[in-house]
């Protein structure tokens, strides 16, 4: 019965992903990191060691189907593990999923497969754990091992060079939830992004005094009118050490829904944060003191909380009412 069920799961996975993006070689795949997005709100981020080579890792979200998949052709052919775990790690950031290492009919070789049924909350949780790994810089380690313990059967080092320019789009499709947004009667999202020249400061929580980490109060801001959120900024002094870049998220305090989570660009140099100014597009640390994210998301009126992936190093003091230092830029609606 177990063999039959496993075979059925693989057949379902094959039929689902054969029409999207299989884990094997594909004509047109370049070497390194590559992103495919289709109109159904599906995004597939892959890494191959050579052009049209095997996809050593594939991360795919099918928002229309409520599925997040992780696949890897890195496992040794014939190394079948009915209950396996795959881990991705970079520095101290780790992302793990459970799945199986089985014969994948589409490619005819053994492949690690994990298909997760996800709702908005689950996919946002995945983003909060996965994005810090992918944007860590340097190399990422992929490991596959039996779920019940035992030696690692696969360990591959994958360079993260070239992934940074793909992450914003990947995060936009996978980890920004239109369904999670609180609704407001009569408020319509604009057909296109507003003119950036109209950008203003929607919220500013700042202090010129000495700061420490670990805000004890939530970092909230309020929108009295609908607004297009363009940029977020948080400060990580951490006694001059900064912190390894992570993510910034926005949560509706009314519904508790995570509206979106975005990878950051982090720098050691301060820059002008006035509306319309040019913010950095690449990191220049360590130390990574200043974190920025570009949500490009439309929000209706309401109260929202900014959540930082590294609250321990997020600067705060009495002047900020023990909220994290942050700036929110955007364009208010009419």
The pLDDT tens digits of the residues spanning 72-119 come to 999 887 778 899 999 999 987 899 999 999 988 777 788 999 999 988
* Mean pLDDT of all residues belonging to the chain: 84
Establish if 91 belongs to a structural domain. yes
Domain with 257 in it: what CATH number? 2.60.120
The tens digit of pLDDT for each residue in 120-161 reads 778 888 888 898 898 767 899 999 999 877 788 899 999 999
| Whole-angstrom distance, CA of residue 109 vs CA of residue 137 | 31
Given this model, what pLDDT does residue 283 score? Answer: 85
Given this model, what pLDDT does residue 62 score? Answer: 92
Residue 232's nearest CA partner among 306, 176, 170, 314 is 306
User: Comparing 259 with 213, which gets the higher pLDDT?
Assistant: 213
Answer yes or no: do 69 and 140 share one domain: yes
Establish if 180 belongs to a structural domain. no
Establish if 131 belongs to a structural domain. yes
Answer yes or no: do 148 and 218 share one domain: no
The average pLDDT across 219-229 equals 94
Answer yes or no: do 239 and 110 share one domain: no
| Domain containing residue 27 | 2-162
Answer whether residue 25 shows pLDDT above 70.
Answer: no
315 CB-near residues (< 8 Å, 6+ apart): 211, 212, 213, 234, 235, 236, 237, 238, 324, 325
The tens digit of pLDDT for each residue in 102-114 reads 988 777 788 999 9
């Amino acid at each position: 019965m177990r063999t039959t069920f496993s075979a059925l799961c693989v057949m379902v996975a094959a039929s689902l992903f054969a029409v999207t993006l299989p884990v094997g070689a594909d004509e047109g795949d370049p070497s390194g990191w590559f992103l495919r997005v289709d109109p159904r709100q599906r995004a597939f981020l892959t890494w191959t060691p050579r052009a049209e080579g095997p996809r050593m890792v594939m991360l795919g979200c099918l928002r229309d189907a409520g599925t997040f998949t992780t696949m890897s052709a890195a496992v040794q052919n014939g190394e079948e593990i009915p209950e396996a775990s795959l881990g991705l790690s970079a520095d101290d950031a780790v992302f793990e999923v459970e799945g199986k290492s089985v014969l994948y009919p589409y490619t005819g070789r053994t492949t690690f497969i994990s298909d997760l049924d996800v709702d908005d909350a689950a996919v946002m949780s995945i983003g909060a754990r996965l994005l810090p790994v992918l944007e860590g810089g340097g190399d990422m380690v992929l490991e596959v091992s039996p779920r019940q313990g035992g030696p690692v059967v696969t360990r591959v080092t994958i360079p993260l060079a070239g992934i940074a320019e793909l992450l914003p789009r990947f995060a936009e499709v996978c980890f920004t939830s239109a369904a999670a947004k609180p609704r407001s009667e009569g408020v319509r999202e604009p057909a296109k992004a507003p003119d950036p020249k109209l950008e203003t400061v929607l919220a500013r929580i700042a202090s010129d005094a000495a700061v420490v980490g670990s805000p004890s109060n939530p970092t909230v801001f309020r929108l009295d009118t609908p607004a297009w959120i363009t940029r977020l900024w948080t400060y990580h002094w951490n006694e001059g050490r900064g912190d390894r870049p992570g993510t910034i998220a926005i949560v509706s305090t009314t519904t508790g829904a995570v509206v979106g989570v975005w990878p950051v660009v982090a720098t050691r140099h301060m820059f002008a944060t006035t509306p319309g100014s040019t913010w950095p597009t690449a990191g220049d640390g360590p130390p990574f003191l200043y974190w920025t994210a570009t949500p490009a998301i439309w929000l209706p009126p309401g109260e929202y909380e900014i959540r930082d992936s590294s609250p321990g190093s997020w600067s705060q003091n009495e002047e900020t009412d023990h909220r994290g230092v942050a700036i929110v830029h955007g364009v208010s609606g009419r």
